[in-house]
């Protein structure tokens, strides 16, 4: 259904969010890739998710936790700042994610973000 909207149609639905032009273009490309390469399903693998247009590590982790229930943490600027205030954060987002994966109990990882 999203592919049928096309980029311009999707932009009409997303114009209130930041960077909607680029996001709409990547969303259409991602939908086409999911249809062609993944039988219309999001893969449950971070590397495959990050190979999709516009998908970085945080988005891949959000999909893995929210859609697939995998115990991982989607570290973003907010998580980094909160972790920094509580002296958990290290030097960058990736190190913060790795540290949180070590210290957050397994049962909380899916919902910690």
Whether 109 is catalytic is no
Whether 58 is catalytic is yes
**pTM of the entire predicted model:** 0.82
Per the CB < 8 A criterion, the answer to whether 78 and 59 are in contact is: no
pLDDT digit string, tens, across residues 70-98: 999 888 888 888 888 888 877 788 888 89
Neighbours of 4 (CB within 10 A): 8
Task: Out of 11, 23, 58, 99, pick the active-site residue.
Answer: 58
pLDDT digit string, tens, across residues 25-54: 999 999 999 999 999 999 999 999 999 999
Task: Out of 11, 23, 29, 76, pick the active-site residue.
Answer: 76
């Amino acid at each position: 259904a999203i592919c049928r909207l096309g980029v311009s149609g999707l932009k009409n639905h997303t114009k209130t969010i930041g960077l909607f032009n680029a996001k709409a273009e990547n969303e259409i490309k991602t939908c086409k890739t999911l249809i062609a390469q993944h039988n219309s399903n999001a893969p449950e693998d971070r590397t495959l998710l990050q190979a999709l247009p516009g998908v970085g590590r945080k988005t891949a982790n959000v999909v893995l936790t929210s859609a697939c229930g995998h115990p991982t943490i989607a570290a973003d600027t907010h998580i980094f700042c909160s972790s920094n205030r509580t002296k958990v954060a290290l030097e960058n987002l990736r190190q913060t994610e790795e540290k949180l994966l070590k210290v957050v109990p397994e049962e909380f990882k899916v919902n910690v973000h």
